[in-house]
Structure 1
Amino acid sequence: MSNPRWKRRPHGSTWGDWGPDDQLGRLNLLTPEKVKQGVAEVKDGLSFCLSLPLDYPGGNLLNPRRHPPVIKPTERSRQPNMNYALFCDDPNLTDVVCDDVVILTLQYSTQWDSLSHVGQMFDADGDGKPEAVYYNGYRAGIDILGPAEMPKEPDTGNPHGQSTSRATKLGVENMAAKAIQGRGVLIDLHAHFGRERKLVGYDDLMRVMEKDNVVVESGDMALFHTGFAAMLLEMERNPDKDKLHGACSVLNGRDQKLLKWITDSGVVSMIADNYAVEAHPAEPGEGCCSMLPLHEHCLFKLGVNLGEIWYLTELADYLRKNKRNRFLLTAPPLRLPGAVGSPATPVATV
């Protein structure tokens, strides 16, 4: 199998399975039937917000490149447009208005990873030389553009500047247009391992799922509750980096049996309330390998989106009390063309 962008695809990947120009990956399995299965899980009509406040975790200790949002007013008549009295311009008016702008690091808090978030050096051309490529063979410098590759844009008068990067393919807007609604399945690792640091592999995962009667089927979205996000809330925007990096369950991305389960299960998305779903960085591997092997397997090979730092504790407590693990999940990202990730305000309806 090949297409105009590649002559060979990674072993075990889904490249080309949904056509040569596919940008959705496993989201193609989120069919109308899967949406109806999610709706069928609504028994009590209760909804849970699965997002942290977007100014959590606080500071930038967890990731020095990512900073809390900055909110400030737009300007009107060269004045801050906050509690702005329109009667300053016209004495016959009574309105007082507010209007603001945010500078937002898109993957600072509760977030989605798009398929353009992580690529790999891989010999897609078959010429013996690896090149930087992403899911389905989309190319760095051609389809995913950094500042050096961006064409010069006309001056639009935007006071906040012009775009200096853009994913022209695999951007998060593809996820938004798909809408991301279907059946979520929660796997409660915290209920079994507490807040101790636990590297969870396939065998551990299967034991937890068997004890809790959890079944993940093709087209489902799998959510892993570890308690990490609840710890962030307790730290009140002043995270303890050492404490957090030594706490709670993380998936073992080096476990080949676990990666095979992700492949065989047909899961659409892997979502957790922790920092990276998997251990970050992963356990040492032999030879040249990915620092984040679960990211490589999901985003690069399979087209499985990852959700990180979701807030799952209240939902997990409710589901465990009611001996359930399935629900309707609605979780579109921002429809922001060209972005590689996005905040989300997911909703679980039970």
Structure 2
Amino acid sequence: MMNAPFPSYAELQQRSGVCRGTAWGVFGDDDQLGTLNHLTPERVKRSIASVREGLRFTLNLRLDAFEPPLIAHRGSPEHHVFGLNEFHRDDRIDNLFTQASTQIDGLRHFAHPDHGFYNGFDATTIVKGTPELGIQNVAEQGIVGRGIVVDVGRYRDFLGMPIDQSSNEQITVSTLDEALEWQGTSLESGDILLLRFGWLDHMKRLGSARPALLQSPGLAQLDETAAWLWDKQLAMVAADNIALEAWPATGSPLTTTAEQTGLLPESSHTGMLHRILIPLLGLTIGELWDLDRLAEACAQRNRYDVLLFAEPLTIFGGVGSPANAIAVI
């Protein structure tokens, strides 16, 4: 379908059969990269124009940035340094959860309860030792493109309406549009969206005093959010919060047939935008990206486009990976 006019989100809803509401087949029947296909050689080449000063900004937190872990089932890494003799050192990391710090969510991360995994891949193949939808597909290509920082937190501060960082405040696409206009920034096909809400800065200030109940502002759990992200033809979206979308997804209107019919009980994933973005649209997501220094530099220069690199680990059949992300301005 890539040779045809690129379908809008509304047009995806008119597709027939199992593909209704999905982007399956849009990038090819066997595709395993999803929206990262927007990073064409021409767009990668164009992104080099975002480098004017050659200044580099790492966007990665430490692997052990949060103790205790933000999400309980993602434990703390255990770093060991050892030597065969006094003149030698090696190290290893045990208990490493690839999505516990600055991360990339691969297309294995979520299936849709009604549709399944991205592009119709069989759930029985999404296991250890199989390649389908594994993060190695992304690692083999690498992520390189034009990043656009949208400093939603700074924009809301400017309005005198700071984001409530201790809540799951819903950030709508109208706010994203307003922030882009305020910055004087426009999006182009193939861009990598970098959303700074200010949540990581808030969490750093709290330190060990952070509340037991994890909450984070983020993108609103609305169908129009998914439509906006898809129709902008973004290659990837990353944010400085825990889930890109608001967390937890309490009160979300998003639902599935499986839940409506009682086949699937409610869980912490009920109502999540993840269920649309990853398995239906093939959108790669970044979470817990440390954007504060980069956003400050962008604000000082009144320029929000960057050359972005991210290289996930080549984990065969991996669900996600540390981001290894760096921006150059």
Q: TM-score range by the shorter chain?
A: 0.7 to 0.9
Normalised to the residue count of structure 1, the TM-score between the two structures is 0.79
Match of 2:73 in 1: 65
1:191 and 2:162 matched = no
Q: Using a 3 Å threshold, how does the CA distance of structure 1 residues 97 and 287 change in structure 2: closer, same or farther?
A: closer
- The superposition leaves residues 127-155 of structure 1 with CA deviations (integer Å, 9 ceiling, x where unpaired) of xxxxxx210001211x202xxxxxxxxxx
Match of 2:235 in 1: 268
Q: Using a 3 Å threshold, how does the CA distance of structure 1 residues 286 and 330 change in structure 2: closer, same or farther?
A: closer
Match of 1:134 in 2: 117
* Matched position secondary structure for 2:218: strand
- Tell me, in whole angstroms, the C-alpha distance in 2 between the residues paired with 1:83 and 1:239: 41
Match of 2:85 in 1: 84
Shift of 1:244: 5.4
- Tell me, in whole angstroms, the C-alpha distance in 2 between the residues paired with 1:286 and 1:226: 22
* Matched position secondary structure for 2:253: coil
Q: Superposed, which structure 2 residues align to 1:1-350 within 5 Å? A: 8-60=17-69, 62-73=70-81, 81-82=82-83, 84-85=85-86, 96-103=87-94, 104-122=96-114, 133-141=116-124, 143-145=125-127, 165-193=128-156, 194-197=162-165, 198-236=169-207, 238=208, 240-242=210-212, 245=215, 249-254=217-222, 256-282=223-249, 283-285=251-253, 288=256, 291-350=270-329
Shift of 1:235: 4.2
* Matched position secondary structure for 1:9: helix
Q: Using a 3 Å threshold, how does the CA distance of structure 1 residues 202 and 172 change in structure 2: closer, same or farther?
A: same
Shift of 1:213: 1.7
Letter in 2 for 1:274: N
Match of 1:160 in 2: none
* Matched position secondary structure for 2:48: helix
Shift of 1:243: 7.6
* Conserved 8 A contact 1:167-1:339: no
- The superposition leaves residues 168-188 of structure 1 with CA deviations (integer Å, 9 ceiling, x where unpaired) of 201111111111001000110
* Conserved 8 A contact 1:186-1:326: yes
Shift of 1:20: 1.5
- The superposition leaves residues 88-108 of structure 1 with CA deviations (integer Å, 9 ceiling, x where unpaired) of xxxxxxxx0111111211100
- Tell me, in whole angstroms, the C-alpha distance in 2 between the residues paired with 1:188 and 1:66: 28
- The superposition leaves residues 69-102 of structure 1 with CA deviations (integer Å, 9 ceiling, x where unpaired) of 11124xxxxxxx33723xxxxxxxxxx0111111
Shift of 1:287: 5.3
* Matched position secondary structure for 2:295: helix
* Conserved 8 A contact 1:182-1:328: yes
- Tell me, in whole angstroms, the C-alpha distance in 1 between the residues paired with 2:118 and 2:27: 12
Normalised to the residue count of structure 2, the TM-score between the two structures is 0.83
- Tell me, in whole angstroms, the C-alpha distance in 2 between the residues paired with 1:302 and 1:108: 24
Q: Using a 3 Å threshold, how does the CA distance of structure 1 residues 83 and 241 change in structure 2: closer, same or farther?
A: farther
Shift of 1:167: 4.8
- Tell me, in whole angstroms, the C-alpha distance in 1 between the residues paired with 2:225 and 2:102: 24
Match of 1:127 in 2: none
- The superposition leaves residues 214-252 of structure 1 with CA deviations (integer Å, 9 ceiling, x where unpaired) of 21221110010012222333344x36135852x5x3110
* Conserved 8 A contact 1:48-1:315: yes
* Matched position secondary structure for 2:100: coil
- Tell me, in whole angstroms, the C-alpha distance in 2 between the residues paired with 1:279 and 1:184: 22
* Matched position secondary structure for 1:211: helix
Letter in 2 for 1:196: D
- Tell me, in whole angstroms, the C-alpha distance in 2 between the residues paired with 1:284 and 1:294: 9
Match of 2:5 in 1: none
**% same residue:** 33
* Matched position secondary structure for 2:327: strand
Q: Using a 3 Å threshold, how does the CA distance of structure 1 residues 329 and 45 change in structure 2: closer, same or farther?
A: same
Match of 2:262 in 1: none
Letter in 2 for 1:234: R
Shift of 1:50: 0.2
Q: What is the root-mean-square deviation of aligned Cα atoms in Å?
A: 2.1
Shift of 1:30: 0.4
- The superposition leaves residues 308-330 of structure 1 with CA deviations (integer Å, 9 ceiling, x where unpaired) of 00100000000011001111000
Shift of 1:12: 3.3
- Tell me, in whole angstroms, the C-alpha distance in 1 between the residues paired with 2:243 and 2:141: 23
* Matched position secondary structure for 1:223: strand
* Matched position secondary structure for 1:97: coil
Shift of 1:29: 1.0
User: After TM superposition, what 4+ stretches of structure 1 lie above 4 angstroms from structure 2?
Assistant: none
Structure 1: gaps of 5 or more residues: 2-6, 74-80, 86-95, 124-132, 146-164
Q: How many residues align?
A: 294
Q: Using a 3 Å threshold, how does the CA distance of structure 1 residues 281 and 304 change in structure 2: closer, same or farther?
A: same
